[in-house]
Structure 1
Amino acid sequence: MRSVKKYEVANIHLFKQQLLEWSKRYDEITWLDSNNYQQNHSRFDAVLALQAFTLIKTDYVHAFDKLQEYQQTTKDWIFGYLSYDLKNDVEQLKSNNLDLLDFPELYFFQPQKLIFIKNNEVEFQYLRIVDDEMDSDFKEIHILEINTLKRAAPSQKGEIQSRISPSQYLERIQELMAHIHRGDIYEANFCQEFYLEDTSIEPFQVFKDLNAISLSPFATFFKWENNYLLSASPERYLQKKGNKIISQPIKGTARRDENETIDLRIAKELEEDLKERSENIMIVDLVRNDLSHTAKKGSVKVEELCKIYSFRQVHQMISTVTSELADGIPPVEVLRSTFPMGSMTGAPKISAMKIIEELEVSKRGLYSGAVGYFTPEGDFDFNVVIRSILFNANSNYVSFSVGGAITAKSVPQKEYEECLLKSKAMREVLLNGIKE
């Protein structure tokens, strides 16, 4: 189905900028960039998927069944997302909170044009209906003038608002902790939305700015028509490589410091923090249970427990849980049986989702969902949509949400401060990049 051609590029950093600039002409875009972050499981450094040949767009009703049929019918590369509210398909729950973004709850497309980057090699994989454009596209990308990539001067317009006030946030954390003390749940991820109304942003530039200050391993630019996701996610939700399934939940966050000695001390304190470790271990147990539904007996393993990974903005505590897929399990079933990811829900999962739905004000939508791809062989890789900006260009509505895990040992004021830390990069790029 696809023609393949490879090119050598001397300056891959510049080529990536040119590639994203060139992609602006298309209605469907997925750009996934690991930012050269040293991780064990990536199959490429970056990929650009463009121009839908086929697509699926649906609400939550039978969403995973529809995705499975689409994936098995195309037997090709498909790129897309799972919104958090697909929980309503998995567990027959409801989402009645405010939704001003109005994105589809599931969206995938089969791209006509695929461009992979690995080291200094660029591989074009085009459907045969457009494969005569490979050489001309490469030439056009490669000679894009650098002055077309200069940043436009920002203007200040719009004000970032919060869906709930700081005092309301603290009150809801207290309510969550009351549920924990009663034994209804023992951990929950509580999120809040920040937003701008009647505000236009330049999505490509905001993404570039966000990526430049974060350099996260699961950075994503996703566009479908007038809807945009600009993500600096550090977290992998789930990957399938052959029969191996890999999940890497994050629980535990600490700030970085410019002073190397202080920064190392902060990382060490995070590693030894009993509250943060307990949060992480609770979610590891939940992930182990989720993976067991599709795993060969005895194959679920914790390969890393509470390991500290350092990113440009924050230190994170990450665990790695793996399993071996049982025979006869379709790829989509692995996603269905683990979704939504435990790091964004809590434990027990269903009880936590019901309680946070009552206490949160905004519908999560794509936030705390997942973006990724399937290969023709049925492998997949998905991130967790956090540290992300969502933009509906039709309604000029901009949104970003942040959250954290609440346990019996949580201190509400510290949880609020952690939310502000997680929101720092999104605030910075939005305040610097709002258009008149």
Structure 2
Amino acid sequence: MTADRFANHPSHPHVAEHSDSSLNPRLALRLHYRTLPVEADSFSTFNSLFASSPNAIWLDSPGAAFSILCDSTGPFARSLFADAHNPHPNAFAQAQDLLDSYHVKIPADLPCQFALGIVGAFGYELRTHADAVTNPRSAVDSAGLVGWLRRGHSNPRSAVDPLASSAPTCSNGDPESTHTGGDSRTFQTGDSLPDLALIYTDRAVVIDHTTHQTHLLFLLPAQDALPAQDVLPAQGQSHPQAWLAQAERDQYAWLDTAVDVVTTNRAAAKPPTAHSGPAAIPTIQNSGVPEFVLDQSKAEYIESIHRSLEYIARGDSYEVCLTNTAQGPSIAQMGITPRDAYSALRHTSPVPYGAYLQFHPPIADYAPFHILSASPEQFLKITAGRVTAQPIKGTRPREANADEDAARRRELKANPKDRAENLMIVDLLRNDLGRVCEVDSVRVPRIFAVKSYSHVHQLVSTIEGRLKPGVSPLECMAACFPGGSMTGAPKIRTMEIIEELERRPRGFYSGAVGWVSPNGYADLSIVIRTLVCSPHATTFGVGGAIVADSDPSDEFEETMVKARALLEALGAKIQQS
């Protein structure tokens, strides 16, 4: 990626072609689609088309508009794994490189906002890379990412350049996969995981739960002159014409298979929806009850809350989003598969931002891993140049009795402490978005709304703005990363406090999962209510906002409420210390 390409990336997604390809020649591809008049069953379709792929993703929104199923085995697909330890090249610049791998022509009548592109997960520790993009106190000055790139800090061929013939190739079906970064991070599990895991997908199944249709998206070479040899992926450079012809045949073969799979795997009557009360029946039966151990015991976590309150009293922070990590046996040790676990989770805790991600990095630095997410929280959605954030701050458990449940809901909406917590995060996000949005365009159309899910009621607000011309979705993401609901305010100082008190990396928890397409649209969730499964352990994070009038015991109990859906899905419990 060059500075000019990033600087000139338009903010108006209806423009199909986003940069002058003469500045940086790329292979020209055209997005094609076929719409089927049936709503595919997402679980069966994923199992049939994608589950055997090394890197496969299912963004699961049965109660919302679209679900997206994709992988990285197509001829134009790529993958990227990186960690936060090495700041050069910057992770967000690498993600932009991946998004800019090809010059994609998008049809004006595409029936969905998703237009292929990058899909995956950003870990919380990439906060240092986001800070380098947007914070004048860091190594990068107020010129931001573009200025930083212009000073030569990003090598355009080091991260995900499709021209680099030396890029590693994955032997298990991933056409082109790149790893960048320094020392990998080892958690208590003994498994080393990246902080950034992305694929560029060149084919996908998009299930429209509103129109009950299924769209099959795929990339083909554009009908232009044969490109110069060096703009092809590495594996196509020796015989470019033959390779492109075979790539086209592969894509049409996939399309034929996908049509057969979708038409024979139609969705059943009704997708999972929120229960009227808590779902208390685990769907997985273990020979014993798996136990999860908290990284900080109840006493230690309460002590961290007291220390947070001291920082708040000193004026260092107004709100500290303190978290804890629970670690349990691996999915295999529980006698189940990641898909079993996700199937249970999506039924006990249906949410608008479910996600199943499986990654098998083709490099020895990282272990294979899965992310199983039942997140209710939107991080950012970018549509036609408009950006929306919907932070959650404020939680109450659901009650089985309808009257008691309604009382919980009313109490949450009226509670001054929860409203204050929520308002602080709203102000923080207004500030974050103000960096990348047009003057006076940032507004709060909805504040202190209560949304109810299977296990909890949540207090949610909505912030909107219009991106400045030239601001890309990834620049917007960097300006807001990590989501303010997972940090507190003021953001930079509070993250320093969090690092001191938590004493461990959060990993993917508190980061983001979702997609960014070359048409300028994006949709990402906050990684909460999420299991991270590696070969030797299963982990999840829980936390809450600490403010001046927080009660430490109540705050700890709130974290246990948030853990309930994850534990119930696994038939597990927290080990009592």
TM-score, normalised to structure 1, is: 0.90
Tell me, what secondary structure is at the counterpart of 1:24? coil
Alignment partners' CA distance in 2, 1:199 and 1:51: 24
Aligned residue in 1 for 2:53: 26
Query: Do structure 1's residue 193 and structure 2's residue 325 form an aligned pair?
Result: yes
Q: Equivalent residue for 2:338? A: 203
The residue aligned with 2:507 is: 365
In structure 1, what is the Cα distance between the partners aligned to 2:262 and 2:206?
A: 14
Contact 1:155 1:432 in 2 (8 A): no
Tell me the equivalent position of 1:65: 93
The count of corresponding residues between Structure 1 and Structure 2 is 417
Q: Kindly indicate which of the two structures has a greater share of residues assigned to strand.
A: 1
Supply the AA of the counterpart residue of 2:72. Q
Residue in 1 aligned with 2:78?
A: 54
Among 381, 386, 398, the alignment partner of 1:239 is 381
The question of whether the paired residues in 1 share the 8 Å contact of 2:58 and 2:68 is answered with yes
Offset at 1:163? 1.1
Deviation at 1:17, TM superposition (A): 2.5
Matched, 1:9 2:24: no
Q: State how far apart, in whole Å, the 1-side matches of 2:464 and 2:265 are.
A: 43
> Structure 2: where are the runs of 5+ without partners?
1-29, 105-115, 133-137, 139-183, 221-246, 268-282, 361-367
Name the aligned partner's letter for residue 68 of structure 2. V
User: 1:217 aligned to 337, 342, 352, which one?
Assistant: 352
Equivalent residue number for residue 21 of structure 2? none
Taking the aligned partners of 2:392 and 2:460, their CA distance within structure 1 comes to: 5
Q: How does 1:132-281 map to 2 (within 5 A)?
A: 132-140=253-261, 142-143=263-264, 154-156=286-288, 158-197=290-329, 200=332, 201-225=336-360, 226-281=368-423
Corresponding residue to 1:121 among 174, 193, 213: 213
User: How much does 1:197 deviate?
Assistant: 4.1
Post-superposition Cα deviations, 1:139-191, rounded to whole Å, max 9, x if no partner, equal: 24554699xxxx88643364211111111111110010011011110101000
In structure 1, C-alpha distance between the alignment counterparts of 2:402 and 2:56, rounded to whole Å = 39
Distance 1:282 1:246 in 2: 17
In 1: Cα distance, 2:258 partner to 2:523 partner: 27
Per-residue deviation, 1:132: 2.1
SS at match of 1:160: strand
Q: Is 1:409 the equivalent of 2:435?
A: no
- CA distance, structure 2, for counterparts of residue 432 and residue 342 of structure 1: 30
Partner-residue secondary structure (3-state), 2:448: strand
> Residue 391 of structure 1 aligns to a residue in which SS?
strand
Is the contact made by 2:331 and 2:533 (CA closer than 8 Å) also made in structure 1?
A: no
**One-letter amino acid of the counterpart of residue 113, structure 1:** R
- Given the alignment, which residue of 104, 109, 113 partners 2:194? 104
What's the CA shift string for 1:2-28, capped at 9, x where partnerless?
331122226x5xx22311322321111
Distance (whole Å) between structure 1 residues aligned to residue 488 and residue 43 of structure 2: 38
How many angstroms apart in 2 are the aligned matches of 1:257 and 1:290?
36
Query: In structure 1, which of residues 33, 36, 41 is the aligned counterpart of residue 63 of structure 2?
Result: 36
* 2-structure distance, mates of 1:311, 1:106: 29
Structure 1's unaligned 5+ residue stretches are 38-43
Q: In the TM superposition, what is the alpha-carbon distance from 1:378 to its structure 2 partner?
A: 1.8
Q: Cα RMSD (Å) of the superposition?
A: 2.3
Q: Provide the C-alpha distance between the structure 2 equivalents of 1:266 and 1:300, rounded to a whole number of angstroms.
A: 31
By how many angstroms is 1:137 displaced?
2.9
Q: Aligned in 2, Cα 1:341/1:99: closer, same or farther, shift over 3 Å?
A: farther
Comparing 359-368 and 95-104, the one that deviates more: 95-104
